[in-house]
Structure 1
Amino acid sequence: MSTDPTTARYSVEGLTALSESLLHEAGIEKAHARAMTARMIDGDLLGHRTHGLAFLPTYLDRIEGGHIGSGGELETLHDDGATAAWRANRLPGAWVMGEATDLLLDRITDRAVATVTVADCSHIGCLQSYLLPFTERGLLVTLTATNPGVASVAAPGGTRGVITSNPIAMGIPTRADPILIDQCTSVGSNALFEGYAVRGERLPGKWLVGADGIPTDDPTVLRADPPGTIQSLGQTDFGYKGFGFGLMSEALSIALPGYGRRSRPDRFGQGVFLQVLDPGRFAGSDTFLDEIDHLVGSVRDDPGAAGATIRLPGERALAARRQQIRDGVVIGAEVLARLTPRANRSSTPLPTPL
């Protein structure tokens, strides 16, 4: 059991029942509710708390506002076997990503590269959560997604947001645990800074820039009028590097799907780029794994600086996932407090702490 009075551990089954019930009560089809719930809980399992069940109240608000739909079908804009382009028309992002995953796992069996782009789906959640089905098959996967209705990151030296936090994820198979990269091209996600603002806390560093162009640790500048912006990775000295990766994400997940900023969309849709490569159709799977395992071994062999811990991307997340599947998922008290009124209105029982 958790010793932190602000958290408790819950079974995956109990949390799943709560989330699926609330989503279905709000009007989401059962298959869509299952997909959304699985991705949120996996976000918590991997330690991405901002995109775990903490996001469920936001999803419920968006459903009530008509920003997440559960009816209709995916619209195919293009499909030549190796590539498919879809328009999702605000269907639940987690369900759409499940369909894209199934499609790519099927199509990669007889080709080297397979790609899906998605225009205008709803929020897909934690990117890292989508990587394991591919790495478990020995496949290399790249995923990036962004929201063309949000502009919270300025160009280096700028004061007006032109892109947003633009996460990029990659799953790299090894002969042991995969390498799971999932990081924003800015210092942090919009949800991260909103969390600090809601809690009334200052940031650990001057990760934002006020509308006056001065770096600050005050998260409320993003809510100001005019708003501040999030610094790109590298911040003041080297932010042009992070901003460059942010532009790459825009090209892949906005321009390729054809769902971009020109039409000034609202803040509730996303564009997605998902691509899978089969190393067996390049220099060969064994050669690929030999090289990756050698690289991993070089990281492991480093004695490290005094007091430092050397980890590969995804290592801590996978350890947290295994531990929480065994011992229960850690959920903050404030998350259930936000869900309690909705559960009471629909007579949905809250899960019991372990």
Structure 2
Amino acid sequence: MSERYRPEDLVSFVSRLFQGAGLAEDRARAMADTFVAADLLGFTTHGMQRVPINLDWLDRGETRATGEPRVLRDRPGTFSWDADFLPGPWVVHRAMTEAAARARRNGIAAATLQRCTHVACLAAYLLPLLEDGLVGLMTVSTPDERFISPFGGREAVFSNNPVAFCAPTSDAPLLFDVSMAITAGGQIARAAREGRRLPEACLKTAAGEATDDPDAMSTDPPGTVMPIGGLGHGHKGYALTLLTEVLSQALGGHGRRDAAGEGEANSVYLQVVDPRAFSEWDDYLAEVDHLLDACRQAAPDDPAAPVRVPGESAWRRRGQALAQGLAPYQGVMAAMAPWAERLGVEMPRAV
């Protein structure tokens, strides 16, 4: 069992790492909040595991420590920014805060961001919206990466393109963060590192055959990830993947035609809605609560496994970690230790 740490100690530790690497305190704190929030929710492939690579990008100058996003378009309910390789988690945190403020004024707000360094876990950015009683939608793509093949094809065109959504309720929120691929790229990379097969055949070999071998992505030519729905129903995931690319890339006028050399830089679409602009708050809550209760009360396939609502497990996991301490995924603390030594930052103490 991994050692547990107080989440606030991990946030402080990660923030001091990023300050040591050259980020201002507010930017470093936004980075730390994002990565620790991801681990709290259980999205460990996109949480603190990504701290070392982000420090490396700063060290090599691939991420700009200073500067401001460039405003490309701005209207009362919409805006578009070019991050120009500023730290993705800080840029998205700032954009989500701005969009939330506009949504409270106008009822709804949307934004596109381009050339953010990798933004990691989308669900982490939605938590402040839930505290304010706002509905949030976010999708991200990576224009210079190709992992997902279109339905019927065996050559990659798309990145993994997660979509995250949140809606406040009277109890635990509706919250999800899902890739348009059957499995996320982080899960494939982790399985390859650990020398194990994937839970199911969600990849295609370069010859177009279904496989559960993560090493299929490392062949020459490489294999591909299948969209949601797989061999039989992947046309649905294919359509949704196109939707994410239009929202995150085409709306902002920057995408695959001009992203060569941008590596893991992300394009982002985010949208914030204030339910009070459309109905009374109590009516909104009554409707969403009724819907989710209907799901929970549906007869389960297995009586020992009641139907759950998306986000229930993550929310429960977060609550337990806040109360009992967070146990980082194996190897995560060890991977940050050399950076702590190099930057003169004391490692946090386990509880």
**TM superposition score category, shorter chain reference:** over 0.9
Distance 2:56 2:235 in 1: 36
Q: 1:28, 1:69 within 8 Å by CA — same for their partners in 2? A: no
- Equivalences, count: 349
**Distance of aligned partners of 1:138 and 1:346 in 2 relative to their CA distance in 1, 3 Å threshold:** closer
Offset of 1:344 from its aligned partner?
A: 2.1
Q: 2:134, 2:272 within 8 Å by CA — same for their partners in 1? A: yes
Amino acid at match of 2:323: R
1:331 aligns with 2:328: yes
2:55 aligns to what? Answer: 60
Distance 1:262 1:138 in 2: 38
**Distance of aligned partners of 1:13 and 1:284 in 2 relative to their CA distance in 1, 3 Å threshold:** closer
Amino acid at match of 1:110: R
Amino acid at match of 2:350: P
Offset of 1:333 from its aligned partner?
A: 3.7
Q: 1:8, 1:332 within 8 Å by CA — same for their partners in 2? A: no
Distance 2:103 2:177 in 1: 23
Distance 1:133 1:264 in 2: 31
Deviations, residues 77-105 of structure 1 (Å, cap 9, x unaligned): 11111111111111111111221122122
Distance 2:97 2:199 in 1: 40
| Residue number among 266, 272, 280 corresponding to 2:268 in the alignment | 272
Distance 1:90 1:144 in 2: 18
1:240 aligns with 2:239: no
2:216 aligns to what? Answer: 221
TM-score of the superposed pair, with normalisation by structure 2: 0.95
1:252 aligns to what? Answer: 247
Distance 1:279 1:13 in 2: 31
Amino acid at match of 1:298: A
Deviations, residues 12-40 of structure 1 (Å, cap 9, x unaligned): 23322321222222222222111111100
Q: 2:174, 2:309 within 8 Å by CA — same for their partners in 1? A: yes
Deviations, residues 219-271 of structure 1 (Å, cap 9, x unaligned): 01112211111111111101111111111000001111222000133213111
Amino acid at match of 2:173: P
1:136 aligns with 2:131: yes
Instruction: Pick which of 279-288 and 49-58 moved more.
Output: 279-288
1:42 aligns with 2:47: no
2:97 aligns to what? Answer: 102
1:33 aligns to what? Answer: 28
Instruction: Pick which of 148-157 and 129-138 moved more.
Output: 129-138
Match of 1:163, SS? coil
1:197 aligns with 2:192: yes
Instruction: Pick which of 327-336 and 226-235 moved more.
Output: 327-336
Instruction: Pick which of 237-246 and 302-311 moved more.
Output: 302-311
- CA-atom RMSD in angstroms: 1.5
Match of 1:204, SS? coil
Match of 1:177, SS? coil
1:187 aligns with 2:208: no
Q: How does 1:146-157 map to 2 (within 5 A)?
A: 146-157=141-152
Identity value in percent: 35
Amino acid at match of 1:126: C
Distance 1:326 1:29 in 2: 30
Distance 2:324 2:97 in 1: 30
Amino acid at match of 1:130: Y
Q: Which runs of 5 or more structure 1 residues have no equivalent in the other structure?
A: none
Offset of 1:163 from its aligned partner?
A: 0.5
Q: 2:21, 2:343 within 8 Å by CA — same for their partners in 1? A: no
1:290 aligns with 2:286: yes
1:145 aligns to what? Answer: 140
Instruction: Pick which of 102-111 and 247-256 moved more.
Output: 102-111
Q: Which runs of 5 or more structure 2 residues have no equivalent in the other structure?
A: none
Distance 1:290 1:19 in 2: 40
TM-score of the superposed pair, with normalisation by structure 1: 0.94
Distance 2:63 2:242 in 1: 27
Offset of 1:303 from its aligned partner?
A: 4.1
Distance 1:264 1:222 in 2: 22
Distance 2:126 2:109 in 1: 15
